[in-house]
Each structure stands twice: as C-alpha cells, then as structure tokens.
Amino acid sequence: MAATRTRVMHRSLRETPPKAVGGEGVWLIAEDGRRILDSSGGAAVSCLGHQHPRVLAAIAKQASTLAYAHTGFFSSEPAEELAERLVGHEPGGLGYAYFVSGGSEAIEASIKLARQYFIERGEPKRARFIARRQSYHGNTLGALSAGGNAWRREPYAPLLSPSFSHVTPAFAYHEKRDDESEAGFVARLAAELEAEFQRLGPDTVAAFIAEPVVGATAGCVPAPEGYFKEVREICTRHGALLILDEVMCGMGRTGTLHAWEQEGISPDIQAIAKGLGGGYQPIGAMLASGTIVDTVRNGSGAFQHGHTYLAHPLACAAALEVQRTISDEKLLDKVKERGRQLEQRLIERFGNHRHVGDIRGRGLFWGIELVADRARRQPFDPKLKLHQRIKSAAFAGGLACYPSGGTADGQRGDHVLLAPPYIATSGDIDMIVERLGAAVDSAL
C-alpha cells in the first residue's frame, strides 16, 4: 500500500491503496502495471469479470439514449425489461422488483415494505424483526440494526433500532455441539426461533431476516439441511414474513439463480444486489411477493419510501445485459462445474492444513477458516490480525481475495472468502488456490 495521502477519504485513513487502471476478465491491472487475479470480485460483485464487452456496449447504448429520468415522472425501457426478466414468471411467488442502488438500500426497502404491509393489513402491532447473530445486512442504520456483527454495530449501538433481536446463526462449525446430530442442531435452532417469537409475542413480529448462505461476517456459511424449511414453517405459522438477504449469495453465485432454490422454500421478500449488475453499475433490488404488493396497492396505493436514483436507467441496462449474458452463455452450469473444481482444489490444498479448520461453501462461493488449534476449533487471537496479513501476502503475490477477521469471543475465526467470476477458467481456479496457499503459508 502506498504511503502518500490523497483527498479521497479511503477505507483506511492511514493508507492509500494503489489505483486500479484497467481490467480484463478475471484480471485487475494496477497503476504500476501489475496484473492481479481477482478471486473474490471485491466482495462477490464481479460475476462476469471485468470489462465484459457485451455489458460495456449495453451501457454505452443506454447512455447515448437516456442516462436518467426521475421515477416520479417516468419508467424506462431497461427497468421494465429487467423486472420482467427477474420476476415476470413469478419465481417462488415473487412478482415485483423495486430497483435501488445497492444492497443496504435493498434491505432498508425490504424492512420498510414488511412494516407497511402489516399496517395496511390492519396489523399495526407487527413492528418487530428477528435476525441472527453474525449476519451482515448492510451499513445503513436499519440494515445495521438487522445485522448481528458485533464489531460493526458497536460504535453505533445507541443509534440502532431496538425493534431487532438476534438468535443463534446456523453456523454448524462453531454452534453445533459435538454430541449433536445435524438434525438435532436444526431442531435446537428452530426451537430457539420459536421461543423468540413467543418471547416477543408472535403477533408483534413482522419478519425474520436471514442470508441463505452467510457471506461477509462468517465466510460462506450455508445452513444445515432442513433449517430453512423449519424457518419458513415457523414464519408462516405465526403470520410473519420471511425476508431473505441474497445480496451476496444470490444471482447465480451458489449455482442456482437464487440460493433459496436449493432450500426448497421461497421468501416473501428478497434483497439482491452484487451479482445483479456485476459491478458495472451500482444496483440492487428488492423482490416482493404479489400478495404484499397487492395489499399495499389496494390500501394506500403507494410504498412510502424512495430514493433519487430508483431504477436508474443506466444501472438497469447494465444489469439487464449482465443477466442476459449469464443465461445466454449458460454460466450457471459453469458456476456448478468450476465450483466443484474449486471445492476439490481447496480440499487438496488445505484439507490437512493444521491451521485450516473448515472449508465450506456452494457454487463459486467458498470460504476457509483459519484456526490456531484444529482439534479445539480455537481461532487465532484477533489481535494478530491474521486476515490482514493474508490479504497483504496475497496481494503481493498477485491475488485479490476477501479475508475477514475473527472475533474476540471466539465465535468466529479469521477466514478468507473466494467468489471468482463465473467466466473463470479451470486454469484460473487452479491459480487462485495456488496463490492463496502461498499467501496463507507466508502469513502464518
């Protein structure tokens, strides 16, 4: 990292990152000419890699036609087409798409629509939300209230909404007891969720919110089999909504367009973002069931929410072309195939590594967790900042990956998240694991 300071307020106020000056498929090009293999697309964003010609052409075409028109006056062709493509066939009953600028906005919209739905249904008492510890739903205050990541919440705790409570995550590596079967673990989590509904009063709960595969805060954690069926049943039985946050794990990342397809359930409201536009434009969306939208339509007639850049035509045009490309080029098949290869390579490289405790994921969405002691699943001391050392070593070795730190309570260790572009070749996957292996070993 360069020491020189610039006027941009960067994430770190002590270090200025090098400039990225170009991109080419799975590669990012730094200002000094170095080519960096992008193994995580930032935070699982760049699903088509960089500078995909189809998407660049679609953006240029839309820019030359119409860059912006306020949604208070107009709709646009790309927004209508994108919505038709996403929900025209009503997947899982989701019939409407509300386009925003990113993941946090999609979560804010989801929370507010759930609340407004119950007001319009004549159930104004429903104002509580149940979420999970170790989840991440975004950094705006509503989304942060839903999130369960203690470190991110701590400085802002006085500003966060007390309407959110948190239950145990479906994180088998740390939460399942040694003497417990997977089914027993699921039953215990379901009982805890049921107890939380009872504690709050079931008729006060608007929704349960969860990531089908937890991304940033825990490092690619899919739930054990049957967990989401239990969750869906509990929400339905109590008349509460199920909001699924697929901002990171959605839009093909796990091998199906929506991660919930693999759980045999569907949500009432869903948030998507990163893989929707693949980073070509800032865009996210809330997908909502027809029942919810019809209730509001037949009630007040309008969703009491909005932003200046709703359904931005350029962003929708970019996302539309990203989604067309994924289906025209059958990239979900590639996600499955390369995903199996990535899993295999990670097991070969780290399966017997004395400091890798867990290898987990789905599709092209994988995480490894680093532990000081494998037998006891004991994370490294967070003060060692192992994840940052891995990030620096990887970058020096020409690899951009997404490491995150462990927690002081030991409920999560340092981990590295991988989310390669769907266009990655078999050689790219091998190179990712090779470079990651070298970085982990040199950082330890």
Residues engaged in binding ligand PLP (CB under 6 A) = 43, 102-104, 107, 136-138, 211, 215-216, 245, 247-248, 273, 284
Please give the Cα distance from 277 to 48 (Å, whole number).
9
Which residue intervals of 88-134 are DSSP H helices?
103-120
Judged by DSSP in three states, 375 sits in coil
In the complex with ligand PLP, the residue whose CB is nearer, 37 or 419, is 419
How many other CB atoms sit within 10 Å of the CB of residue 215?
27
In the complex with ligand PLP, the residue whose CB is nearer, 164 or 197, is 164
Give min distance, CB of 363 to ligand PLP, in A. 15
In the complex with ligand PLP, the residue whose CB is nearer, 262 or 295, is 262
Q: Backbone phi, then psi, for 244, in 5-degree steps?
A: -105, 130
Residue type, 245: D
Judged by DSSP in three states, 101 sits in coil
How many other CB atoms sit within 10 Å of the CB of residue 12?
8
Q: Which residue do the tokens 């509990």 mark?
A: 234
Give min distance, CB of 282 to ligand PLP, in A. 8
In the complex with ligand PLP, the residue whose CB is nearer, 35 or 112, is 112
Asked if residue 222 lies in contact with residue 213, where contact means CB atoms within 8 angstroms, the answer is yes
Under DSSP, the state recorded for 95 is: E
In the complex with ligand PLP, the residue whose CB is nearer, 38 or 211, is 211
Residue type, 228: F
With 0-12 CB in 10 A as exposed, 13-18 as middle and 19+ as buried, what is 392? middle
In the complex with ligand PLP, the residue whose CB is nearer, 119 or 276, is 276
CA distances from 430 to 252, 346, 349, 436 (A): 21, 9, 10, 10
Asked if residue 367 lies in contact with residue 417, where contact means CB atoms within 8 angstroms, the answer is yes
Pick the closest to residue 252 from 324, 344, 315, 343 (CA basis): 324
Give min distance, CB of 104 to ligand PLP, in A. 3
Give min distance, CB of 102 to ligand PLP, in A. 3
Give min distance, CB of 105 to ligand PLP, in A. 7
In the complex with ligand PLP, the residue whose CB is nearer, 273 or 418, is 273
Give min distance, CB of 134 to ligand PLP, in A. 12
Give min distance, CB of 190 to ligand PLP, in A. 22
Give min distance, CB of 243 to ligand PLP, in A. 11
In the complex with ligand PLP, the residue whose CB is nearer, 211 or 321, is 211
Give min distance, CB of 240 to ligand PLP, in A. 20
Q: Which residue do the tokens 């999560």 mark?
A: 412
Q: Which residues does 159 contact at the CB level (< 8 Å), separation at least 6?
A: 141
In the complex with ligand PLP, the residue whose CB is nearer, 98 or 380, is 98
Question: Which residue has the CB atom at the shortest distance from ligand PLP?
Answer: 103
CA distances from 64 to 60, 148, 263, 313 (A): 6, 43, 42, 11
Asked if residue 275 lies in contact with residue 259, where contact means CB atoms within 8 angstroms, the answer is no
